[in-house]
Amino acid sequence: MVIAVGIAIRISTIWTMQPSSDAYVYFYMGNSFLQHGEFIMPYGDYSAFSSRFSHHFPPVYPLYLAGFIALFGYNPFTLNLASALSGLLPIAAAYWATKDLYGKKKGLAVAAIISVEPISTAMGGIGFSENLVNFLFILTMWAILKSLKDEKYILWAGLFAGLGYLTKSSMGWFFIIAGLAGFAWRFYYVRWAVFRDRYYLGAIGIFAAFFSIWALRNIIRFWDGTFWGLFTAWQTSAYTSYVFGEAVSRPADLLYILFPRLIFFALIFLGTAVFWLKELKNAPKLEEHNSALFLSIFLVYLLSWIISSMFWVVERYPMFWALNARYIIPSLVPLFWLVFRQHDFESVDFRKKLAATTAVALVLSIAVCTPFMFNQQRADIQALEDLRSMAESGDRVYVRAFHPYEAYLYLHDGNVSVDIYISSEDRFILSGLTEENYTMLGYHLVREYRAGKGDPLRFSWECNLWERNA
């Protein structure tokens, strides 16, 4: 019953939530791949605001979206549909993997919690890649745990970790660091025999293949031929590389944010595990199976803390910005595996804690995704719909401080061109800088858009629409 409710909430986000920022870029990348076999970005990305190959987002999530574009076309509904359905993937993986490891009843329990978990539900609604990352991480951890009894399963871990690395640019480093930590963990238990384990070495080779193919693509596309340029060129995201470099070069800023961010993630952990702290405390820490789960949870929180702090040094979003909670999503299933493994499923205590955990998650999920919070007409989308009805085939619109890939998604089917630099051919200007005035350039104000509540996670989306005087 709970799983059905969770699935219904996630599917409802097709209509109750709207994509945000990065979702439009992912979606364009999927469309570009279908057209060109590469990720060509006419408006650039975070690295450069001009036409170029993508050097910010990895390929797996855009390829997932490309399948939906091929079936249903390049339009806003397809993006909403694909985003919401991505939220079903971790539910399926959580049930299947947990059932295989610990039995059907615990599989249903973990799937129930994940189905109503609010953070990943919201991420599906706004079109981010976190659900696909979580799906692949669950399968990676499943394969690692299975390999403790059958070494061949570690090959699957290499495959899923390789795909996970290519799913989210800022978390790509997580899979590299986690792989190194995993090697240290494996060495602790088997010592030098790890170098004689052909399956483990094969898993490293599989992961290295994914890593190398994508790194080679980036080097060919972006390397400037210099020694230091190679360190930025091979990475998925030049912007993420820049952020990390800035954070290291500004240690005072980084130290300033580390403590409040530590409090932020500590509160998230306590809120997630509040009913299970006793089980976590009593779980044997050095038992091989448990230690793998503890390590995975610890690494997710550690790297979420460090990575989000580094981004704050450059971006300066609020210290307790809710969107940063998305980084800890991969830790959820390992956490519940750990506590459920130690607990008697039939006990009254277990069932009370499970009911409380599920009820809290469900209430939060409904609160996050309720139409009262999100289903007001967003100002930017209203402006684009009005512009689409006003514009004629061949018209051009200059977008200023407005997401160009969002504008393209809504306007391309009417043969309306989107410009990120103003020209004499632009009939319209759509500006997110509402204080700017374009009357001196020969435009008149058509409408101010202030009605939309916007996206509470990021922007106000207010904008003005201008039209050139006849």
Q: 403 and 365 in one domain?
A: no
Q: How far apart are CA 214 and CA 132, in angstroms?
A: 18
CA nearest 217: which of 23, 63, 59, 61? 59
Beta carbons of 429 and 466 less than 8 angstroms apart: yes
Provide the angle, in degrees to the nearest 10, between the axes of the packed helices 130-147 and 118-126: 130
N-term to C-term CA, the chain: 60
Q: How far apart are CA 247 and CA 258, in angstroms?
A: 11
Q: How far apart are CA 58 and CA 174, in angstroms?
A: 14
Q: Which of 326, 356, 373 is the last residue of a domain?
A: 373
Range of the domain at 398: 379-468
Q: 452 and 337 in one domain?
A: no
Q: 284 and 153 in one domain?
A: yes
Beta carbons of 419 and 399 less than 8 angstroms apart: yes
Lookup: tokens for 30:
């999927």
Q: 352 and 219 in one domain?
A: yes
Instruction: Count up the domains in the chain and report the number.
Output: 2
CA nearest 349: which of 269, 410, 275, 422? 275
Q: 287 and 265 in one domain?
A: yes
Q: 6 and 34 in one domain?
A: yes
Lookup: tokens for 393:
């085939």
* Residue whose entry in the numeric block shows the structure tokens 């060919």: 220
Q: How far apart are CA 128 and CA 156, in angstroms?
A: 25
Q: 320 and 448 in one domain?
A: no
DSSP code per residue over 311-337: HHHHH---TT-GGGGGGGGGGHHHHHH
Q: 422 and 284 in one domain?
A: no
The pLDDT, as a whole number, for residue 455 is 46
Q: Which of 343, 373, 403 is the last residue of a domain?
A: 373
Q: Which of 321, 345, 373 is the last residue of a domain?
A: 373
Q: What is the pLDDT along the chain (470 residues), one digit of tens a residue?
A: 889 999 999 998 898 888 888 999 999 999 999 999 999 999 988 755 666 899 889 999 999 999 999 999 999 999 999 999 999 999 999 999 999 999 999 999 999 999 999 999 989 989 999 999 999 999 999 999 999 999 999 999 999 999 999 998 765 566 677 778 777 877 777 788 777 889 989 999 999 999 999 999 999 999 999 988 888 888 888 888 889 889 999 999 999 999 999 999 999 999 999 999 988 988 888 888 999 999 999 999 999 999 999 999 999 888 888 889 999 999 999 999 999 887 777 788 888 988 999 998 888 888 777 654 444 568 888 999 999 999 999 999 999 989 999 999 999 988 899 998 888 899 999 999 999 999 999 999 999 998 654 444 444 578 999 999 98
Q: 314 and 240 in one domain?
A: yes
Q: 407 and 367 in one domain?
A: no
Q: 39 and 118 in one domain?
A: yes
CA nearest 136: which of 110, 102, 172? 172
327-172-23 Cα angle (round to 5): 65
Q: Are strands 52-53 and 396-400 parallel, antiparallel or unpaired?
A: unpaired
156-157-162 Cα angle (round to 5): 100
The pLDDT, as a whole number, for residue 240 is 86
Q: 397 and 352 in one domain?
A: no
Beta carbons of 401 and 433 less than 8 angstroms apart: yes
Ramachandran assignment for 58, one of left (phi > 0), alpha (psi -120 to 50 degrees), beta (any other): beta
Q: How far apart are CA 180 and CA 299, in angstroms?
A: 11
Q: Which residues contact 205 (CB under 8 A, 6 or more apart)?
A: 158
